[in-house]
Structures are given as C-alpha cells and as structure tokens.
Structure 1
Amino acid sequence: MILTVTHRTLYRYDAPVRGVVQSHRLTPAAFEGQRPRDWRVTVTGGVTGGGFRDGAGDWVQGYTVQGPVSEIEVLVEGVIETADTAGVLRGHREAVAPPVYLRKTAATRADNALRALAEKAQTGTQDPLDQAHRLMAAVADAIDYRPGQTDAGTSAAEALARGAGVCQDHAHAMIACARSLGLPARYVSGYLMAGEDEGPHEAAHAWAEIWIEGLSAWVGFDAANRCCPNAQYIRLGSGFDARDAAPIRGTARGTGEERLDVTVAIAAVQQ
C-alpha cells in the first residue's frame, strides 16, 4: 500500500515560555515492511539540532525554539509504501541485543495478576510464537478497548485491574506478560490507517513487539485490534515503554501551563 500521513501536534502556553527543546522520533526507518518515499517534519520557529540513529534503529532529531513563544506546531507530512509481513520485522538495522528488552519499567512491571494471566495463556505450549499469540488474545480479552478509562501514566497492572484501556495499555500489558515468561518485548509507536471493519483503533497507534528466537526476529502484536501489524501500519520507533518510545519528548523553559492538541490523518493513495 501507499499511505499518506498528516500528523499535527499543537502546543499552546497560557503564558509565553522562554524556549522549548524537543527530541523527535517521527521519521520511520526503511525495512522490508515499509519504505518512506517522502517525509518531512517541520517545527514552527524551530532550529534543527543534532540528529542520530540510536541502537534500536530509530532516527532521533533535536529541535530548539527560542522564546518568548506561546504556540508551537510540529507537523509531519509523508508518503510511505508499506507491505504485509505478518508482523515480522526484517531488514531493520539495529544494534541492541534482544535480552536488553527483558528490563522492567514502572509501566511494564508485572504484578501477580499479570503473571497469572501470562501463565494461563501459555498453558499447553512451549512454542514462543504460539505463546505470543495466546498472550495477545488473553490481553485483548482481559482489557476492553475503552478510551477515557486510563491516562498516560497508567501502568499495565493498573489497566488490567480496571479491565479497560487503550492501545498503550494493551501494549504495556503484552510487554509485562511476555517479559514475565522470559520473552524480550518492547513498545512500538506508529500510525494505523482505519480498516473497513471499523474495529477499535487510533491513528496515532501503539503495539508490542516480542522477540521470537526460532525466527531470529521481532514480531509485532496489536492486542487492541487482535492482529499482527499489516500494510495498514506505519512503524515509527520503539522503546522499553510508552515514555521511552514517545514520538515527541521535550521541555519548556517557563511557567506557562501547556495545552496539547493532536490530529492525525492516514489515507491510502490510489495505486
């Protein structure tokens, strides 16, 4: 598929701030499942800083905005070609060894309930790929897709206890369960184009990847939609959890309260 992306993030401050520094993971890497054709990131009044490709294969770009400033827009516009690889990530250049992703974070620490969910899901199989698929189904059954029930700081354990959440919570729960079974797992941020089935989704999306030793590859699992990523998905970057893989991270110098508006539009181009 050929997909177009328009992702607009607008920051407003009720009092002008002296300046803003941001770090972006907004540029998708090329691999067998996707190939960017044209991709631009612009920041209102932004000065481009240093950029580098980190050990996970993600491009990290810095920007600074000199104040006083009351409003900043970060605009992503792109065209990308995607293919269905059944969720298998191949041809993605990275240097971090998979066992590093066994490390727990506050958002992905497994409590007794998450460990019990993982153990029940793996009953009767020792195949890691089968275990991962069963984990996806178990998490989808245990956490209903219901926006407004959780927030950015909700942990996997809290989402499971509430029995509701969004894609971030499904990904955190998948990661927590997988790591409790000794399977390296990580959080992936990206985009998802709506399908004809109108299932639960968010255009700015997230899912989990689990390292499958037998395939020597990372495989994506989207519990929110009960599927592995296909040609409707665009992969931006990865990390230990949502905070680590955030597309935009930054800080503002000043006392103004920040308000955030985000709009994302994904569309397929006639081929």
Structure 2
Amino acid sequence: MDEKDWNAIRILYQEKNISRASERLYISQPALTYRLKNLEKEFGTRLFFKIKGGIEFTSEGIHLVEYSEEMINKLQKTKDYMINMQNEVKGTLRLGVSSNFAQYKLPKILKKFSTKFPNVQFNINTGWSTDIINLLNSATVQLGILRGNYEWYGKKVLLHKERLCLISKKEIDMENLRELPFINYKTDSSLKALITGWWHDRFSEPPFVMMETDRLETCKEMVKNDLGIAIVPEICLQPSDNLQIHELFYNNGEPVFRYTWLMYNQDSLKLSIVKNFIDFLNENPNI
C-alpha cells in the first residue's frame, strides 16, 4: 500500500459510495475500482460488499481503514517536522473551526496571517464544535477553534467571548416573550443548551416556537421580515441588519456569554507554523 491507497480507503469509508468517493479523489470509477480490487488481491480478503445505495465495509476493511488513518497521520506529521527543521514559516496549517466563527471571523484572520506569512497554505475543516473536537482527537487538525465548553486534555485558551442576544424587527416587551412567535435554528448542543438555560431561568413555560430553520442566517432573515423573534450569538449581527437587539441577562443580573476557545496539543508548538499562528491570534485579539 502507498499514500494513494491509504487516501482511497479513507475517502471510500467516509462516503460509503464508489461514485462519490471517485469524485472526491478526482479519479474515474473504473480506476478506483481497479485500485480496490488490487488491495483485496494483495491482502487476500474482501474489504467491502455492495448494499442498496452504496457499500459496507467488512471487519477486515475497517481494520485497513484504521491502519490507513494512522499512516496518513504519521506521514503528515513527518512532513510537518521536516518543513519545521528548515526554520521557515511555511507548509500547510490544518485548522478545524466552528462554522459561525469560520463565517464571520476566520476570513479576515487568514487574510492578515497569509499577508505576513505568504508561504503558508491552509487546510480548513468547518462544522459544529462537536465535529471539530473529533478532528482534534484524531489529530486530523493541528488547531481547533470551538464555541462552547468541551473537555480537552491539551491546551485550551479563551479566544473570544460575546453576548447572547434576542433579536426582533420591532421593539418588544422582554417580559412578554412567551406570547411572541419564536424562531429556532439548527445549531450545536452547547449553544442550544445556553439558549434553553437562559429561557428556563427567566420563564416557567417554553417559548411559542412557530418555525424551525436549518441555518442561523436563514433564521435571521425571517426575523428581518418580522416573522418572529430569535436568540442568536452577537457574532452574527451587523449594523446593516437593522434589528432590535436585546442583550440577555440571567435573573441574578449576570450577562449571558458565548465563549470561543482555541484548543491544541502542546506538542504542536514544536511546529513553527502552529506557534506563529497562535502568537498571531494573541497579538491580534480584535480582528
């Protein structure tokens, strides 16, 4: 097996479909099928079998997937350290970033960092924070930027904090929120728990939910059109939204904050590209 085989097995396991896997690998289906048959011949066993709509891996195939993941990580670490030994800030920085932070904050950060270090490339994975913590645990990324509180055995640094806000098109009475149509949106468990915790702290009855949207931005557009109220993190709000914004407080008077954390393994600091990016974030807290 070589690097191409490792990657093919990994992508195929993620997709469970030869057509989609070949698209991601930028090779034809026959070429991928030929490579897979050669692997089965090399190991003398079935790696997967066809099911309706895709494929399923055998136990031998899953073992090979785990081996491939391990070898890809080892090879990437070797490349990282070889580049690091040249005492230059270059190579590929692998980041896992929470979707909202990636949308509203990350582009400016990467633009300014790449201007300072033009020989750096970026490999960015975005998603919910639960996805990012999994990428960190598997060493798929070198640094994670997560929103909410998650257990992490490595370094965990507070990167950003913001208020949680209730938004509406028109001025409203905050004491009568239970009577107003409430708009929900899909988000990670930590933000959902924060919103639910504040509501239960203030009201004994649940909100009158009249709409569920797939994204925060869709929810915000509904509020702009006066279809209801919503609770959102401050990071997504702009003056051009022209919305009524109410910062939230608990009954004891404490503000409701949403925290963003930078997480990484201590060993990653041995890489100049990682250390310089962390230093850059610390030196530019208001980007």
Higher strand fraction (1 or 2): 1
Higher helix fraction (1 or 2): 2
Q: TM-score of the superposition, structure 2-length normalised?
A: 0.22
Q: TM-score of the superposition, structure 1-length normalised?
A: 0.23
Which structure is larger by alpha-carbon Rg, 1 or 2? 2
- Comparing both chains, which one has the higher relative contact order based on Cα–Cα distances under 8 Å and sequence gaps of 6 or more? 1
